[in-house]
Chains A and B, each alone.
Chain A
Amino acid sequence: MKKTISGIFNDKDVEQLVGQMLRYGVITASIVAFVGGVIYLLHFGQAPIPNYHDFKGEGAGYTTFSGIFKGALAFNATEVIQLGVLVLIATPILRIAMSLVAFAVEKDKLYVFITLIVLCVIMTSIFGGLKV
């Protein structure tokens, strides 16, 4: 495949951007989870372990955007941790969104289309009422 010089430069730019985005996402998620974890241990450290042997499933406070944000704003330890979890899950998704912009700048229509399909699949699984 022939590559023009500008093509190579563009590709490298995209790669740098994607790499940085992934790193900052993971670092942010770990810091948030760490802060939440410290608060959690300060508050509940001496309490006995919750029963993880039987699966009950988490309540709305931990499973919905609004629940997590509300709790995290109130500085509730567990919701702050869940916020870190959200940031972590969002990192690869944002990476795709970023690639979409990059491919659009490169005027690579085929890959704008391919990237859109991947984004659609993920958005369907977020908003498509896959909750069972």
Chain B
Amino acid sequence: MTILTFSIILLLGSYLAGLLGSLTGLGGGVVVIPLLTLVFGVDIRYAIGAALLASIATSSGSASAYVKEGITNIRLGMFLEIATTIGAVIGALIAVYTPTNTIAILFGAVLIFSAAMTLRKKNQEALTEGSKLSYLLKLNSSYPTKDGEVAYKLKNVGAGFSMMTVAGIISGLLGIGSGALKVLAMDTAMRIPFKVSTTTSNFMIGVTAAASAVVYLQRGYMDPGLAFPVILGVLGGAFTGSKLLTRMNPQVLRYIFCAAITFVALQMIYNGVQHKF
């Protein structure tokens, strides 16, 4: 195969990965890693480098729209980014000492967890009473809905912060946005309405990924020949996905895709156990 055919196939594959990531809400990066490793036989370290770029691109691209609508809680995002960036740098450092097969197995496990998380029922209610820390840190806010502005408050700030550190470590270690873990922290611990937690999580993914991306770039994980088809393909796919989402209810698609992703995750775990990475 020549570089030209490889790049075109990779571009199309990344487009599908971006589309899938956007429709399931898992993010573009997560699908890029199995695509590169299982389909193209690329070393998982190059795949992680490319996936981080995909995460930054899709997060920043879609965040700009949500921020404009005023749904994203920027203060909350900034505060929790302390946890996710510290975690991401730690994760990227641990990654050097972690065997690639272990990373693949971990990746598979996180992927299955993330897929299950997207099917979970989300917190819709807005709390009217927040914890002391939420006032102190000015984290309570409001967001626009069909029926006007809805105010919400949050609690368990400390627990949410600790869970975000774990999300950051996993993000740095595996090169993914770990949006599912971020939403889990904001949803179950801090009781933030689902629309705010998903958009704020998405907003944070770019910064979290950038914190570990600089480490990976300097370590030589980012290959230009992989980077350009992946960035352009995933961005295009995510863009199509966001257009499709406004026109249809993806619930049924979500089940199908999550089943497919679980299958891919099991394949990653199997290959990891068989020491194929």
Give residues in A with beta carbon < 8 Å to B: 1, 11-12, 14-16, 18-20, 22-23, 25-26, 29-30, 33-34, 36-37, 40-41, 44-50, 52-59, 62-64, 77-79, 81-82, 84-86, 88-93, 95-96, 99, 108, 110-111, 114-115, 117-118, 121-122, 124-126, 130-132
Q: How large is the interface on B (under 10, 10 to 19, 20 to 34, 35 or more residues)?
A: 35 or more
User: Once the chains bind, are B222 and A92 in contact (CB under 8 Å)?
Assistant: no
User: Once the chains bind, are B138 and A1 in contact (CB under 8 Å)?
Assistant: yes
* Partner among B63, B137, B228 whose Cβ is within 8 Å of the Cβ of A22: B63
How far, in angstroms, from A84 to B56 measured CA to CA in the complex? 12
Which one of A25, A85, A108 has the highest number of Cβ atoms from chain B below 10 Å of its Cβ?
A85
Cβ distance A92 to chain B, nearest Cβ, rounded Å: 4
How far, in angstroms, from A82 to B64 measured CA to CA in the complex? 23
User: Once the chains bind, are B42 and A53 in contact (CB under 8 Å)?
Assistant: yes
Give residues in B with beta carbon < 8 Å to A: 1-4, 6-7, 40-43, 45-46, 53, 56-57, 59-61, 63-65, 67-68, 70, 72, 74-75, 78-79, 81-82, 85-86, 89, 92-93, 96, 135, 137-138, 140-141, 206-207, 209-215, 217-229, 231-232, 235
User: Once the chains bind, are B224 and A82 in contact (CB under 8 Å)?
Assistant: yes
Residues of A within 8 A of B3 (CB): 40-41, 44-50
User: Once the chains bind, are B231 and A23 in contact (CB under 8 Å)?
Assistant: no
The DSSP consensus for interface residues of chain A is helix
User: Once the chains bind, are B2 and A19 in contact (CB under 8 Å)?
Assistant: no
Residues of A within 8 A of B232 (CB): 30, 33-34, 37
What are 21 A-to-B residue pairs whose CB atoms are below 8 Å? Answer: A22-B67, A23-B61, A29-B231, A30-B57, A30-B232, A33-B228, A40-B3, A40-B228, A49-B6, A53-B41, A62-B220, A63-B218, A77-B224, A78-B224, A89-B213, A92-B59, A108-B138, A110-B138, A118-B207, A125-B89, A130-B93
* Partner among B72, B78, B82, B218 whose Cβ is within 8 Å of the Cβ of A121: B82
Residues of A within 8 A of B219 (CB): 57, 63, 131-132
